[in-house]
Amino acid sequence: MKKYNNIMKKCIRLASKAIGKTLPNPMVGAYVLDEFDNIVGYGYHKCYGSLHAEVEAIKMAGEKTKNGTLIVNLEPCSHYGKTPPCVDLIIKSDIKKVVIGMVDPNPIVRGNGIKKLEEAGIEVIKNVLNEQCQLLNATFIKNMEEQKIFVAIKTATTLDGKIATSNNSSKWITSPKARRIVQKIRNSYDAILTSANTIINDNPYLNCRVKNYKSPIRVVLDSNLRTTNDYNVYKDDGVKVYLFTLNDNFKNIYFNKNVTIVKAPCDKSKKHINLEFVLNFLYKEGIRNVLIEAGGTLNGAFIKENLCDKLYHFISPKVISDNKAKSWANGCDVFDINNAKKLSIKKTKFIDPDLFVIAFFEKLS
Ligand code: AOF
Ligand code: ZN
C-alpha cells in the first residue's frame, strides 16, 4: 500500500541508526500514528539486548496509541525472549492497524506475530517496501533461514576492473571520500577477512578508525604461514584475530595473545584452505557476517564456490590497461557467458569522482 511507503522509509532510516550494533538481532524501527494519522511516537532497537523498537515507539506515544497505527519494518515478535511479546503490548495499546515491511524469518516468530494480531481483530498490512526491508536485514535473514554467516566482498577497481598494477601499486585507486565509506561499511560487519597475500603486499590494519565505531574481528587465511606476528593485522589492540592455516608448524611460532590459530582442512585441490570450513567455524564462534577485503585470488575462490551474498564495488575513473595488472576476482573458471556468476544491482551512488555499486549475488536454488 503506497500510503505507508514514506513512513516505512522513515522506519528503515531510523532502524539503520543502529547499524553494526544489533547483531545477532535485527535492525528494527517503528512509528506510531494516532487515529488522525499524526506521528505520536517512534523508536528503534538501539543495540543487542535493548528494548524492541515497537516498545520504544509505543512508550513515546502513551495514551495516543488508541485507534492508532503502528508501522514497523519487521513483523512484531510473539515470543517471550529478553522481553515479553511485542504483539501483547500492541493489543493492549488499542492499536487498530499494524503495517509491516517483512515477515520475521526467526522460526519462533515467522508469521505467528501477524496471526496473533489478526486474531485480536487488528488490521495487518504486510510487505510494505518489502525489498528495502529485506536488504536492511539481509544478514539476519541469512542467519535465520540458513544458519550460515552472511558473506560480503568489498573491492575498489579502476574502470578496467583492476585493483593494482603488475608491480602491486594500488595506493590509492579511489578518493578519500570513498575510503571513508569503507570505514563505515567495516563497522557493520562482525569480522573482516583477508589473505596472506594482501597482508604481505599492503600490510593493512583492517580496523575501523572512525570515532564510536567498533573494530571488527580480523580473520586471516594463510595456508603456508607466510605472515609473521609483526604485520599490522596481528597488533594486539584488544581485537580478536583468527589465523587459519594448513601448516602444522604454527605451534612453534609466536603470535600475540589476541591471535587464535586454527588448523584448517584443505579444499578439493588439496592446496588451499577449505573456505566453507572457515565460514562455518566463524558462525559457530558467534560471528554473523564477514567482509572480505582481499585480492583477486581469494575473492575469486569465494565467488567460484558460490559463498558470497553481497558486493560493495567502488569504481574509479582510471584505466591501467596492462594485461599483467591485477583483477579484483580471478579463477572463477567461467568459459561460457551463460554460466557467469550473476548479481543484481541494488544501489548505485556517484561519490565524485568514483562510482559506488552495491549488488547481491543471485542465489542458486
Ligand atoms: C530485536 N529488536 O526491535 C525486534 C525484534 O533476543 P530478544 O528476546 O530480544 O528477541 C529477539 C527476536 O525478536 C529477534 O530475533 C526477532 O525475531 C524479534 N524482533 N528483535 O532485537 C526488535 N522487533
Ligand atoms: Zn518484540
Q: Among 91, 114, 139, which residue terminates a domain?
A: 139
Q: Is 54 a catalytic residue?
A: yes
Same domain, 220 and 282: yes
Q: How many domains does the chain have?
A: 2
The mean per-residue pLDDT over the stretch 90-105 comes to: 98
pTM of the predicted structure, to 2 decimals: 0.95
* pLDDT, the chain, mean: 95
Specify the ligand 1 atom closest to the Cα of 45: 3
Q: Looking at ligand 1, which residue's alpha carbon is closest to its atom 5? A: 52
- For range 32-61, the mean pLDDT: 97
Q: Answer whether 273's CB lies under 8 Å from 266's CB.
A: yes
Which ligand does the CA of 25 lie closest to?
1
The verdict on 118 and 163 lying in the same domain is: no
Whether 115 and 248 share a structural domain = no
Residues 76 and 45 in one domain: yes
Query: pLDDT tens across 279-314, in order?
Result: 999 999 999 999 999 999 999 999 999 999 999 999
Same domain? 117 vs 167: no
Residue 192 belongs to domain with CATH number: 3.40.430.10
For residue 140, name the pLDDT band (cuts at 50, 70, 90): very high
Region 223-230: mean pLDDT is 96
- Helix H or strand E segment including 315: strand 310-316
Q: In what order do the strands lie in the sheet with 123-125?
A: 39-44, 29-33, 69-72, 97-100, 123-125
183-218 pLDDT, tens digit each: 889 999 999 999 999 999 999 999 887 787 888 999
- Contact yes or no for 334/340 (Cβ under 8 A): yes
pLDDT at 82 over 90: no
Q: 50: domain CATH number?
A: 3.40.140.10
From the CA of 3, how far away is ligand 2's center (Å)? 24
Is the shortest distance between the CB of 74 and ligand 1 below 6 Å? Answer: yes
pLDDT at site 238 = 92
299 and 329 in contact (C-beta within 8 Å)? Answer: yes
Residue 364 confidence (pLDDT) above 80:
no
- Answer yes or no: is the C-beta of 28 below 6 A from any ligand 1 atom: yes
Residue 174 sits in the same domain as residue 123? no
Nearest CA to ligand 1 atom 9: 82
Q: Please name every residue paired with 183 in a beta bridge, in sequence order, or none if there are none.
A: none
pLDDT class for 321, splitting at 50, 70, 90? Answer: confident
> 112, 139, 166: which is the final residue of a domain?
139
Q: Is the model's pLDDT at 227 over the cut of 90? A: yes
Quick check: bond before 353 cis, omega within 30?
Answer: yes
Q: What is the pLDDT of residues 247-286, one digit of tens each?
A: 998 888 999 999 999 999 999 888 999 999 999 999 999 9
Q: How far apart are CA 305 and CA 21, in angstroms?
A: 30
Question: Measuring from atom 15 of ligand 1, which residue has the nearest CA?
Answer: 25
The dihedrals phi and psi of 326, each to the nearest 5 degrees, come to -90, 135
* Structural domain harbouring 290: 148-361
* H or E element, residue 112: helix 112-119
Strand-pairing partners, residue 265, are: none
Q: What percent of the chain has pLDDT over 90?
A: 87
Q: How confident is the model at residue 365 (pLDDT cuts 50, 70, 90)?
A: low
pLDDT at 1 over 70: no
- The confidence score (pLDDT) of residue 212 equals 79
Give the residue carrying C-alpha cell 550494533: 21
pLDDT for 92: 98
- Residues ≥6 apart with Cβ < 8 Å to 227: 196, 199, 200, 220, 233, 234, 243
